[in-house]
Amino acid sequence: MIVQARGRAGRAYGYPVGVTFPVVGMVGGGQLARMTHEAGIPLGIRFKLLSDTPQDSAAQVANEVVVGDYRDLDTLRAFAQGCDVITFDHEHVPTEHLRALEADGIPVRPGPDALVHAQDKGVMRAKLMEIDVPCPRHRIVADPADVERFAAEGDGFPVVLKTVRGGYDGKGVWVVRDAAGARDAFRAGVPVLAEEKVDFVRELAANVVRSPHGQAVAYPVVESIQVDGVCDTVIAPAPGLSPELSAEAQRLALRVAQELGVVGHLAVELFETRDGRILVNELAMRPHNSGHWTQDGAVTSQFANHVRAVLDLPLGDPRPRARWTVMANVLGGDYPDMYSAYLHCMARDPGLKIHMYGKDVKPGRKVGHVNTYGDDLDDVRERAAHAAGYLRGTITE
Amino acid sequence: MIVQARGRAGRAYGYPVGVTFPVVGMVGGGQLARMTHEAGIPLGIRFKLLSDTPQDSAAQVANEVVVGDYRDLDTLRAFAQGCDVITFDHEHVPTEHLRALEADGIPVRPGPDALVHAQDKGVMRAKLMEIDVPCPRHRIVADPADVERFAAEGDGFPVVLKTVRGGYDGKGVWVVRDAAGARDAFRAGVPVLAEEKVDFVRELAANVVRSPHGQAVAYPVVESIQVDGVCDTVIAPAPGLSPELSAEAQRLALRVAQELGVVGHLAVELFETRDGRILVNELAMRPHNSGHWTQDGAVTSQFANHVRAVLDLPLGDPRPRARWTVMANVLGGDYPDMYSAYLHCMARDPGLKIHMYGKDVKPGRKVGHVNTYGDDLDDVRERAAHAAGYLRGTITE
C-alpha cells in the first residue's frame, strides 16, 4: 500500500509507509553525482538530481532526475522543493542563488559562505592568508604590465595566471614567461590572479570531510600526479611522506574546513616544496578526483562520507583498507568502444576495480578511472597504469 | 550531441555517441535488483528493470524502470526488447516464458534449463541425485498417509514437507510430527516434497559464480544462522570449518553450477551434519542473502560478479578482504523510523556498513542488512548484532 508519507523536513511525497528517509538533492549530473548516488543507495536515502541533460553521467543511473539549468534561480527553487538538503557535483552555481535557497529555508551544504572560497580563487587566497595558511605568493593583477610588476616583486618569470572563477583541469590557467604571454588570461574579462610558479617536488592532496555539527575526518594524504594539467594518477598514501608533514597537511585541511565552515568533502590540493614545506594550491568542496581511491581503498568512501556529512550523520571511518591504493584516470582515446577492452583488463587482473562514467569518449576527456590496491606499490601502480592505458588505447597488449 | 547509437546486440537507442555498453535487463524490483544496479554502476553498463510497482526497492534508485507483471509473456517480451541479456531478482518467472524469450533470441541468464532447478525442488532433487550430489533422504509424497509411509521408510517423524514451487524464507515449508500435521502442506494443490529432518550441526552456504564460457569462481564457504526460518547472521568464512570440508563444499557448488549449466551467482545452501558430511538443502540462482557479506568483505561482490557473469565478462577476484566479515539482517520491528537509529549506529561504530532497501517497515520483514569486518570474530559479530538489533528496535542502547 502506498500512502502519502512525510519526510524529515515535513514535506509530503508518495512513498511506502514508514519510509521517512531524507531526500538529498544534488546539483549537477556529472560523474561525482553518479558516484554519490551509488554511495547513497546503501543508506536508503532518496537522491534527486538536477542535471543539464537526461544523458548526463548521473542521470543515466538515478531515478529522480530533473533536467534544468542550475544558473536559473526558478529552476533551482523548483528543484529544491521536496529536498531535505542541497549539495553539489560542481562549484558553478551562482553564489547569490545559493543565498536565495538558504533564505527559502533549504539547507545548502556546503553553504554559500564556504563555497565561495572554492568558486573564487581571489576570495580563497584572501581568506587563507587571513587564517595564516601557507600559499604561493600571489595577488590579483590588472593587466600584462601588472603581471610584469608581480614577477619583478619576486623571483621573476615564469608566473602562473588563473581566472578567479570558472577554471578546472588546467582550463583558465596559464603559465607565462613574459608580459606578452599574459594577454590571453585577460581576454575573458574575469579578474586574474597571479601566483608564483612554485618549485615543487610533487603535488599532494589532503582530503577531509566535515559535518554541520563539527565532526571531521581526515583521509590519508595522497600524492597526485598530473599530466598536461590533468590528474593522471593518485597514490594513497603519498609514498615516503614524513609522518610530520603528513600530520601537518591533515591538520591544515581540517583547519581550513573549520575556518571556512565547509560541510561535506573538502579537497585541499597542495604543493610539496623542495625545501620541505606545503603550500595550498586549490580547494574543492565536493567529492574530488584525488579521493576516488577511497571507493575501494578506504573503509568509508569520500562519496559515502559526503552524503553522511550533508545529512549531518556521524561520519564513517576514513582509514585505508590496503597498504597501497592507486587510482588512475581513464581518458578518452581514439577508440570509442571501451567496453570491449574490459575482456583483456578483467582477465589480466581479477582484482582491478573499474569505474566508468557512462560518458561519450572524446580524446583527453575523463571518462572513468580504475583503482588497484595491494602490498607492493610498484605492482599496484603497474596494474592501474596498464588498465587505464589499455582502456584508453595507448597500451595495446 | 545525442544521436542514435547501436548497442552490442545491434539495437538502437538514444545515448551519447560511442557509448556502446550493454543493457542488462533484470526481472524483479526487490533488494537484489537494487544492489545489482548499485554494483553495475561502476561498470558503466545500462540497467533496465521490470518492477511490480514504481515504489519497489530497486525501482527507487534505477533510471530505466518498466512497471509490469513478470507473469505476463507480452510484458516480458516488450521489456526484453533493447536488452542484451535478461537476468533475475527472483526465481518466479514461469519457465515457459523464459523459453519463449530464448526463442525470441534474447539471452536469458541463468537460462530456463538451469533455473528450473531453483524453481522446482522436485526437479532439483532428481537432478542432484542423478549427478551424485549428497542430499537429505527425500521423495515426492501424494498425501498425509504417504508422508507417514515416507517417515516409516527412514527414522520416522519429524519430516520436512516443502511445496516444490513458490516457497522462500520458511514459507511453503512445514516440519511435521505426524500424518495429521501434514495436511496443511497439501492444501495449495502443489506437489509436495518430503525430506528427512537432517540432524545438522549448522547451516553453511557455498556460493559460486559461473559465466557462459565456463569460468567460475568460488567464494569462501560461510556459516548461515537462521532464526525462525529466516537468515539472521552470516559469518564469512564459516568458523572452524575444516579445510577439507570447505574445499569439498566449494567443489560441490562448482560441480552443481557446471552440471546444471548455471550462469551467474549460485548459492548452495548446505547442512553440515553431526557426522561431518555436507548435504544440499536449497539452491538459488541469483545473488543471495548468504552472499551479502561480499559487498564489504570480498574483493568482488556477488552482485558485481553476477553482472560480469551474465555479460560473459571475466569474473572478479572472490577472495575475502578481511579475516572475518559478518552480515546481520535488519528485520522490521515495531518502530517504523529506522533512519533516526542511524545516529546511534554510525556514531558507535564508524566502520559499520549499512545496506537498507528502501522498504516499508513491517514486523519481521527483511528491510536491510549490515556488514562488519575485522580480525576479532567476537567483536565483529557483536558489532553486527548490535546494529541490526538497534535498527530493528530490539536493542535500545
The ipTM, to two decimals, is: 0.94
B250-280: per-residue pLDDT in tens? 999 999 999 999 999 999 999 999 999 999 9
% pLDDT > 70, chain B = 94
- The verdict on residue B132 lying in a domain is no
Residue B378 belongs to a domain: yes
What is the pLDDT, as a whole number, of residue B165?
87
Same domain, B168 and B68: no
Last residue of some domain: A56, A88, A108? A108
Residues B68 and B146 in one domain: no
> Is residue B242 over pLDDT 70?
yes
Instruction: Specify the DSSP class assigned to residue B238.
Output: P
Q: Which of A196, A213, A246 is the last residue of a domain?
A: A196
Q: What's the whole-number average pLDDT of chain B?
A: 93
**B53/A353 Cβ within 8 A:** no
In chain A, what residues touch B295 (CB-CB under 8 Å)? 42
Asked if B316 and A350 touch (Cβ cutoff 8 Å), the reply is yes
Nearest to B337 among A18, A43, A342 (CB): A18
A chain contacts of residue B346, beta-carbon cutoff 8 Å: 308, 313-316
State the pLDDT at residue B167: 67
Q: Please report whether residue A367 resides in a domain.
A: yes
B387 contacts: CB under 8 Å, gap ≥ 6: B328, B330, B345, B348, B349, B352, B354, B370, B372
Residue B46 and residue B160 share a domain: no
Q: Which of A65, A317, A350 sits opposite B317 (nearest CB)?
A: A350
What's CA B77's distance to the chain center, in Å? Answer: 24
B71 falls within a domain? yes
To the question of whether residue B282 is assigned a binding role by annotation, the answer is yes
Residue A20 vs residue A339, higher pLDDT: A339
Reference A49, options A70, A74, A26; nearest CA is A26
Question: Tens digit of pLDDT for each residue in B157-196?
Answer: 999 999 998 766 667 899 999 999 999 999 888 899 999 9
Looking at CA atoms only, how far is residue B352 from chain A in angstroms? 8
CB A71 within 8 A of CB A60: no
Contacts of A56 in chain B (CB under 8 A): none
Classify residue A130: in a domain, yes or no.
no
Distance from CA of B152 to the nearest CA of A (A): 47
Contacts of A41 in chain B (CB under 8 A): 34-35, 37-38, 61
**B359 has binding-site annotation:** no
Closest CA–CA distance from residue B344 to any residue of chain A (Å): 8
Residue A205's φ and ψ, nearest 5 degrees, are -140, 130
Q: How far is B297 from chain A (nearest CA, A)?
A: 11
A299 to B2: CB separation less than 8 angstroms, yes or no: no
pLDDT at A347 over 80: yes
CATH of the domain at A283: 3.30.470.20
Partner-chain contact B351 A55, CB within 8 Å = no
pLDDT at B9: 34
Q: Can you give the residue range of the structural domain that contains A13?
A: 2-108
Contact between residue A131 and residue A106 where contact means Cβ atoms under 8 Å apart:
no
Q: Is B350 within 8 Å of A316 when comparing Cβ atoms? A: yes
Q: Helix, strand, coil proportions of chain B in percent (round to 5)?
A: 30, 30, 40
> Residue positions of A in the annotated binding site?
121, 162, 195-198, 203, 281-282
Q: What is the mean pLDDT of residues A321-347?
A: 94
Same domain for B325 and B226: yes
What is the tally of structural domains in chain A?
3
Q: Do B165 and B204 lie in a common domain?
A: no
Whether B244 has a binding-site annotation, put simply, is no
Is B149 found in the same domain as B205?
A: no
Are A184 and A281 in the same domain? no
Three cell numbers at B372?
562488519
Which chain A residue has the Cα nearest residue B319?
Answer: A351
- Res. B392: pLDDT tops 50: yes
Same domain? B236 vs B316 = yes
Residues 6+ apart with CB under 8 A from B371: B292, B293, B295, B296, B297, B325, B326, B327, B352, B353, B355, B384
For residue B74 the three cell numbers come to 507480452
Alpha helix stretches (DSSP H) within B278-330: 294-297, 302-310
pLDDT digits (tens, 9 = 90+) for B7-53: 333 333 344 555 589 999 999 999 999 999 999 999 999 999 999 99
Q: Give the minimum alpha-carbon distance from B38 to chain A in angstroms, rounded to a whole number.
A: 6
pLDDT tens digits for range B347-381: 999 999 999 999 989 999 999 999 999 999 999 99
Domain contains A370:
yes
Nearest-angstrom CA–CA distance, A383 and A380: 5
Q: Is A122 inside a domain boundary?
A: no
Distance (Å) from the alpha carbon of B360 to chain A's nearest alpha carbon: 5
Between these two residues, A152 and A228, which has the higher pLDDT value? A152
Please indicate, yes or no, if residue B119 is contained in any of the structural domains.
no
Round to whole Å and give the CA distance between B211 and B268.
Answer: 17
Do A37 and B41 lie within an 8 Å CB cutoff?
Answer: yes
The contacts of residue A133 (CB under 8 Å, 6+ apart) are: A252, A255, A256, A280
How far is Cα A135 from Cα A153, in angstroms, rounded to an integer? 16
pLDDT tens digit sequence for A61-77? 999 999 999 999 999 99
Q: What is the pLDDT of residues B104-127, one digit of tens each?
A: 999 999 999 999 999 999 999 999
Asked whether residue B173 falls in the same domain as residue B212, the answer is no
pLDDT value of position A1: 26
Predicted confidence at residue B169, as pLDDT, reads: 63
Q: Is the pLDDT of residue A185 over 60?
A: yes
**Residues A221, A335: one domain?**
yes
Contacts of A308 in chain B (CB under 8 A): 346
Give the minimum alpha-carbon distance from B63 to chain A in angstroms, rounded to a whole number: 5
**Interchain contact, A55 vs B16, CB within 8 Å:** yes
Q: Which residue of A has its CA nearest to B342?
A: A313
pLDDT band at B311 (very low <50, low <70, confident <90, very high): very high
Q: Which of B19, B36, B38, B359 is the best substitution to test chain A (most A C-beta atoms within 10 A)?
A: B19
Cβ-Cβ contacts under 8 Å, B351 against chain A:
299-300, 316-317
Confidence class of residue A170 from pLDDT cuts 50, 70 and 90? Answer: low
Which one of A8, A36, A41 would you mutate to disrupt binding with B, by most B Cβ within 10 Å of its Cβ?
A41
Compute the distance between CA of residue B318 and CA of residue B306 in angstroms, rounded to an integer. 12
Residue A7's CB: how many other CB atoms inside 10 A? 19
- Contact list, A16 vs chain B (CB under 8 Å): 55, 358-360
The pLDDT of residue B97:
98
* CA distance linking residue B252 with residue B246, whole number of Å: 10
Contact A338/B44, CB-based, under 8 Å?
Answer: yes
Give the residue numbers of the binding site of A for ATP: 121, 162, 195-198, 203, 281-282
Decide: A307 and A316 in contact? Cβ < 8 Å. Answer: no
CB pairs under 8 A between A and B: 157
CA-atom Rg of chain A in angstroms: 21
- Round to whole Å and give the CA distance between B310 and B263: 6
Q: How far A266 CA lies from chain B's nearest CA (Å)?
A: 19
Please tell me whether residues A82 and A209 are part of one structural domain.
no
Residues of B whose CB is below 8 A from A315 = 346, 350
CB contact under 8 A, A42 and B353: yes
CATH number at residue A142: 3.30.1490.20
Q: Considering just the CA atoms, what is the radius of gyration of chain B in Å? A: 21
The verdict on A173 and A292 lying in the same domain is: no
Interface probe, candidates A15, A26, A334, A339, chain B, greatest B C-beta count within 10 A = A339
pLDDT the model gives residue B229:
82
A145, A173, A196 — which closes off a domain? A196
**Does the pLDDT at position A7 exceed 90?**
no
- Determine the pLDDT at residue B3: 29
Q: Is B147 annotated as a binding residue?
A: no
Q: Using an 8 Å Cβ cutoff, are B97 and B76 in contact?
A: yes
